[in-house]
Amino acid sequence: MNKLLNQLQDKKARNEKALAVLIDPDKSTDIGGLIRLVNLCVENKVDYLLVGGSLITNDNFSKVISIIKSNSNIPVVIFPGNHIQIDSNADAIFLLSLISGRNADFLIGQHVLAAPILKKSKLEVIPMGYMLVNSGAPTSASYMSNTVPLPSDKPTIAACTAMAGEMLGLQTIYLDAGSGADEPIPQKVISTVARSIEVPLVVGGGLNSLSRVNLALEAGADMVVIGNALEKEESLLIQVSERIHVINEKLDVH
Ligand SMILES: CC(C)=CCC/C(C)=C/CC/C(C)=C/CC/C(C)=C/COP(=O)(O)OP(=O)(O)O
Ligand SMILES: O=P(O)(O)OC[C@@H](O)CO
Ligand SMILES: [Mg+2]
């Protein structure tokens, strides 16, 4: 039933790290390019493929999911910007509640609209506290959700927000600097949040180099998400995947 959530919890219990790649349907209009990216993810043992966007300007959401499903067995998790991004061909959905903001629509409103569709689908629903952290310029997610991101130099506020999300029953927390962020989430914010919660911690936004990914993993991210950087630099995926597999294999030996 809760296959992916249980897998994430088990990985965390073993101190293992997970790697997710974000595929933006808007940037996947070239089918050949999409299939190449999916193959690269398969070769590099990516754990999850996330699909979604703050704004989707064409109608290929379902098509992108169907192409991914026919080219790999990597679980597809919807990372929705709104309630219309639902497709029962995916495996699961991160049911994001935007707890860093105070916009009721993104805390509960979109969820009410999505609930009857999700109930009928066979999607695994993964409840997730979604926290946007300031990274300089406004990002698509902060602008589209009409929310103020958390200050990046206030780790305590971030930790209390994550704790409240966990106490409300959210099963995962996502710290996001926003797609294409200039600055990723500071290590201090990641480590303070990681120490304050027990649920799996996802970190993403602006992870465009191996050193940035390493800093996020060292600070306590259980899963890292890479999106934009792969559109330009596919070799990053090879490096990050190697790094994560070295960390996970060392755990097996001890
Ligand atoms: C209840 C359902 C089904 C959805 C809830 C929707 C919520 C609460 C969303 C949170 C706010 C939001 C707009 C999140 C977007 C997250 C996302 C898919 C980011 C991907 O990157 P983009 O923001 O599209 O970046 P680009 O501008 O680089 O394309
Ligand atoms: O595109 P990037 O900057 O890698 O960000 C991925 C994801 O965390 C955005 O929500
Ligand atoms: Mg987008």
Q: CATH number of the domain at 3-253, please?
A: 3.20.20.390
Q: What is the pLDDT along the chain (254 residues), one digit of tens a residue?
A: 799 999 999 999 999 999 999 999 998 889 999 999 999 999 999 999 999 999 999 999 999 999 999 999 999 999 999 999 999 999 999 999 999 999 999 999 999 999 999 999 999 999 999 999 999 999 999 999 999 999 999 999 999 999 999 999 999 999 999 999 999 999 999 999 999 999 999 999 999 999 999 999 999 999 999 999 997 788 999 999 999 999 999 887 66
Record the pTM. 0.98
Radius of gyration of the chain (CA): 17
Residue 194 annotated as binding site: no
Output the ligand 1 site: residues, CB below 6 A.
24, 52-54, 79-83, 95-96, 98, 106, 110-111, 114, 130, 140-141, 144-145, 179-180, 228
Taking a C-beta distance cutoff of 8 angstroms, is the pair 131, 90 a contact?
A: no
Give the mutation target among 179, 203, 223 for probing the ligand 2 site: most ligand atoms within 8 A of CB.
Answer: 179
Nearest to 45 by CA among 66, 17, 12: 17
Nearest to 47 by CA among 253, 222, 252, 233: 222
